[in-house]
Every structure is written in C-alpha cells, then in structure tokens.
Amino acid sequence: MLYQFYETQRSLMEPFSDLAQTAAKMFNNPMSLMGQGPFAQRMAAGYDLLHRLGKDYERPEFGIRTIDVDGVEVAIYERVEVNKPFCELRRFKRFSDDVKTLEKTKDQPAVLIVAPLSGHYATLLRDTVRTMLKDHKVYITDWKNARLIPLADGDFHLDDYVNYVQEFIRYVQGKYGNCHVMSVCQPTVPVLAAVSLMASRGEMTPLSMIMMGGPIDARKSPTAVNNLAMTKSHTWFENNVIYRVPDNFPGAGRRVYPGFLQYAGFVAMNPNNHANSHYDYFQNLIKGDSSSTESHRQFYDEYNAVLDMDANYYLQTIRVVFQDFSLPTGTWDIRSVDGTMERVRPSDIKTTALLSIEGELDDISGSGQTKAVHEICSGVPESLQQHIDVEGAGHYGIFSGRRWREKVYPQVRAFVLQQNASLKKAAAPVPAKPEVVAAPVVEPEPVVIAPVAESAEAVVEPIAVVPAVEPVEPVVVEPAAVPRKPVHTPQAHKTGSKKQK
C-alpha cells in the first residue's frame, strides 16, 4: 500500500509543482507586472525551490557529446552494445578526423566500468566516464529501473548480477582480446565474484580490477549503512522495505525495493547538509549567482533520480554482503547460468592485477573494507597489487569531482598502462643473435643481411593488440673479389596485428 500511496501523492503534487515553475518564471521576468514588484526576486526564488522539491526526477542522460584529447575535440557516440532484461551494456565510441588522434586512441586499453545498482542510475558516474574517455575505450553497465521491467522477464538475483558481469567481460574480451574492469561501490563484491569464478574455471581473466569504495569486507570499520543491515533481520527488510509496483507501470506486480525509500535513506544520512544546500540555492537565486545555482541543479538532478531494485536482488545482497559476509569467509555459492552451484574462490585469481581505492571520509564504505580485497586474493603476486588512500575525499569524491580528476585518475591511468606495458613486453619475442662468420684475413668476406621474411599472423593470448615488428631493410656491403657468401639472420615473426578500434 505504501507504494500506491506515494504514487497518488506524487500525482496530486505534480500540477502544483508545474504551477510553481510557471510562477517562478513570471516573477523572474522583468517585463511582467509581477516581476516589477519589490520582492519579485525572492518570490521567484521561493517558487523555483518549491518546484524542485516537488517535481519528479526521471533518469538523466549521460550527455557526453565531445571530449578534449590533447587539445583536439573528439566526438562521442553513445550506443547500446548488449541489451539484457535488467541491464544495458553501453559503449562510448570516439570519432575524430585528426590522424594523430586516431592513431593514439586506436591502441588504448578497453575498460569496463561496472556501475552500482544501489539506488542511483549509472549516470552518477558521468564524470568518471568523461575522464576515462581521454585515454581508454569505455564501456559501462546501465542498470534498468525494475518498475519498468515486466514480470514476464522473470526475477533478478545477485547471482544473475554476477552472471551478467561475466557475460559483459567476455564480450569486451572478444572485441579486444582482454580488458580492465573498474567497479564503483556496490559492484566490487559481484565483480570480484565474477572474476573469481572465471579464474576457477580456467577462463581468461581481466588484465586488472580497480575496486573503488566497496564493501568487500563489511566487518571492517562498519558505517551507519552497514550497521542498519547488520542489526536488522532478513525478515525485517522483507516486511518493511519491499513493496509491489503499482498498476500504472510496465512492471506492475513486481516486488521491489522502491527508489523513493532509498532516496529517503540517502537524505536521512546527512539531512543538515541537504537543508543547507537548498538554503544556499535559494540565496544564490536571489543574488543572481547563475554559476552556483546551475551547479546545484546538475547535482540534484542526478542525486534525486532513483530507481527501483528487484526485491530478490536486494534481499540477497543484504544477506550475502552485510549479514553472512560470504565473500571474505569463503562460503559464497553462486548459481551459474546452467543452474549449477559454484563456490567463489578469490584465491584462484593469479594474473589479474588489483588496485583498491578508498576515501578518507567515506561514510558509506568504511576504511579497510575495500582494501580487504588484497587479503582475499592471496594468489595475486604483490607486484600486481596497489592501494590508494585519497585524503579529504568522501564516497563520491573518489570517482567524481576535482579529487577524482586530479589525484585519483592519474594513478588509475598509470596502473592500467603499467599492466598493458608489462604484458606486451612479456609477449614480445626476444630476437636471436645473428650468426657471426669470420672473414678471411687477407680479403674480407662480404656480408649481406637479407630482409626479414614476414610470417603468417600469429594469435597471442591473452594479449589482444601487440605492435607488429616491421621488416628490417636489407643492408648490403659491396662485394670484394671473392664470391659472396650470404649470412642470414633467423626469421622474426610478427607477434600480432593492430586491431582497428
């Protein structure tokens, strides 16, 4: 009943919100009679704030049209590569008519960003995507609103989430040979499970995993979010936060954790900060500070847009991650696509590099929760592990904003490039030393180095793109009186071909 009551209240408030928006424009227009009054600016600011507090926030778009790559404007085309019932895999493809820029971007590494399914849309990572596009091929998981998914598409569990991630990893690997995986907040747990299962089966695993502010081990430095999940029983969550979607949505009848309840929980964590932010917005409207007011709108257009989560997925996440701690204790069994149960063993990961990132002031994933991935993945050599503590950064600061762009991203970029460089170096053949033939003492024997023959293109796994070794130009030493005796160097083989981006 709560969901139906909320939808009824929202429908009744919608015309008043639109009316408030109209009144704000009238009081803000100096050409109208209402805009010429002594308190017109304050009235306009008040109605504008009322409109924003009462409006319904739909899913925003990424809106990344272009990016700057070393001073060159590169066009971005966003498209859906894989469409699943509960998620879309989106790619941000780059286009440019600058030859040097094309050559630079063609061989850059591919990164799969796994966005959180914890209330907000994947567009929350807009700044993350825009920054990564400068040096990477970028894909992202865009989770769908459960209230828009018909019951005929079935339920969605945490196990399905893990299977989705594996499918997306294989898809990107199929295009580029391999990829890097970045997970932000909630998906650190299912991403680690997905890669662990791939490693246990002997599949090729990603080149690296970048874990950012996630509850790998929620027992360490528990936050208010963790405490709520730990102190309430599984039955309490099922009885108090799970409701059925009303009839006016495609997913009518589906059991979900509604987005409006999640939003109420977000605001309840820092109510004073949000109240102060709205008051500052009101004051900035009166002063005419368009820059500050636009920043406020952009942030809350994203923050206030929330989605419903399938109840099965939500309840299973509460139990596995925050109550049973199944990942760090090694007791997590996942149902695969074919229905078999598989044990998650992170220790089976051997070759995937690990980078964990935590914010000093993170109030959602406490200190040490993400860093715990290094303890769990005991099979990864220390040389492939790295941890970053971001001073002064909260939860959102490690993947969005100035600290992300100036402090975190340069280290992420260097880490990704380091893994690519080490793998290319390991895959490159070591050239054999040419045979040395002693020339006669009196009359030196001429030496001709023949051109290197091109062999058939070899496929090297797990490296997708390795620069080809160009044929060596023949160098001829003029012959003397004696007949020539050619000396050939061993044939060098190409180790791969550059793939077109």
Check: CB of residue 185 under 8 Å from CB of residue 317. Answer: no
Check: CB of residue 127 under 8 Å from CB of residue 83. Answer: no
The contacts of residue 228 (CB under 8 Å, 6+ apart) are none
Residue 128 pLDDT: 96
d(C-alpha 312, C-alpha 150), whole Å = 15
Going residue by residue through the chain, which has 501 residues, state the pLDDT in tens, using 9 for 90 and above. Answer: 789 999 888 889 999 999 999 999 999 888 888 888 888 999 999 999 999 998 989 999 999 999 999 899 999 999 999 999 999 999 999 999 999 998 888 889 999 999 999 889 999 999 999 999 999 999 999 999 999 999 999 999 999 999 999 999 999 999 999 999 999 999 999 999 999 999 999 999 999 999 999 999 999 998 888 888 888 998 999 999 999 999 989 999 999 999 999 888 888 888 899 999 999 999 999 998 999 999 999 999 999 999 999 999 999 999 999 999 999 999 999 999 999 999 999 999 999 999 999 999 998 999 999 999 999 999 999 999 999 999 999 999 999 999 999 999 999 999 999 998 765 665 555 454 444 444 444 444 444 444 433 333 333 333 343 344 333 344 434 444 434 444 444 444 333 443 433
Report if pTM > 0.85.
no
Of 303, 302, 277, 308, the residue nearest 292 (C-alpha): 277
Of 72, 470, 66, 122, the residue nearest 302 (C-alpha): 122
Task: Using the structure block, give the residue that is written with the tokens 């596995």.
Answer: 320
Hey, what are 63's tokens? 């809106």
d(C-alpha 183, C-alpha 214), whole Å = 8
CA distances (Å), origin 234, targets 34, 121, 231, 239, 259: 55, 25, 10, 9, 19
Give the ranges where 308-408 is alpha helix by DSSP (H). 311-317, 326-329, 373-376, 402-403
Q: Is 387 exposed, middle or buried (0-12, 13-18, 19+ CB in 10 A)?
A: middle
Of 489, 488, 484, 487, the residue nearest 445 (C-alpha): 484
**441: DSSP letter:** S
d(C-alpha 343, C-alpha 411), whole Å = 33
